[in-house]
Amino acid sequence: MRIATTIFLTDETIRPDRLARELEQRGFAGLYLPEHTHIPASRDTPAPMGEPLPREYGRTLDPFIALGQAAAVTERLALGTGITLVAQHDPVDLAKQIATLDFLSGGRFTLGIGYGWNVEEAADHGVEWSTRRELTRDRVALMRALWADEPTAYKGKFGSVRASLAHPKPVNGAPRILLGGAAGPKLFGQIAEYGDGWLPIGGRGLTETVPVLRQAWSDAGRTGEPVVVPYAVAPSPGKLAHYRELGLREVVLQLPPAGEAEVLRTLDDFAQYL
């Protein structure tokens, strides 16, 4: 099983280049970074992780710039977002960022996407909350058109792009796309429609939900099986053994949003799972 990590990198934590080097030297498989452009100081939306909202949420580094720095100092470390709030981005610009990062890293990028929880943050980006899932699907389709080998036009409900010259291309045509969110028929239908798999946060309840996802995948006419990557996991030997029994091949462990000394101590502890 591949052991990757995630962390809220901020202006107060270990730097991405330093962390990436340590991860690769120690044998960890990857680094996934979350995204929040900003956290409105006044909001009615309750934080799903509880209040008060942890300090790091309002201080996160831009994940693509941070992952670019990580890519520049490593050769094998997988890079990913967990997650990108696609609805909050211009899809033409986002397609270019993703393609450039994937190209420069030699195809090491995974696009983890999600629908978000912060209504006020999304509203500042002009997102109508009730349509954010449909908007995300539309923007992924538009990005895929820009990543296509030949100039390809796309016209959707929320946006369009002319057939265009758009280079560089992601190394494998498109990055691996994993959707985050709570288990259920809506999410599993969306994964089967336009994703490559699922990022279940915390990794609980997978004994029951993974078979349901696999059935939704099959019912949609997809071949093989969806990728399932338990995300932001607090590890234990029993938990990781259970994931292996379910046939999962990668897990993402949660690092503390801390300075270098504390993060490296945590990596020393997590080394037992490599």
pLDDT digits 0-9 by tens, 170-186: 999 999 999 999 999 99
Q: Quickly state the pLDDT bin for 85 (edges 50, 70, 90).
A: very high
> Contact, 57 vs 43, CB < 8 A?
no
Q: What pTM was estimated for this model as a whole?
A: 0.97
Q: Report, as an integer, the average pLDDT of 127-150.
A: 98
Sign of the Cα pseudo-torsion (70, 72, 77, 79, in order)? positive
Question: What are the domain boundaries of the chain?
Answer: 2-272
Sheet bearing 109-113, strands edge to edge? 227-228, 197-199, 176-180, 109-113, 78-84, 30-33, 2-6, 250-254
Residue 71 confidence (pLDDT): 98
Q: Quickly state the pLDDT bin for 255 (edges 50, 70, 90).
A: very high
Distance (Å, whole) CA 85 – CA 117: 10
The residues, any chain, with a CB within 8 Å of residue 179's CB and separated by 6 or more, are 112, 113, 114, 187, 190, 191, 195, 197, 198, 199
**Is 3.20.20.30 the CATH classification of the domain at 2-272?**
yes
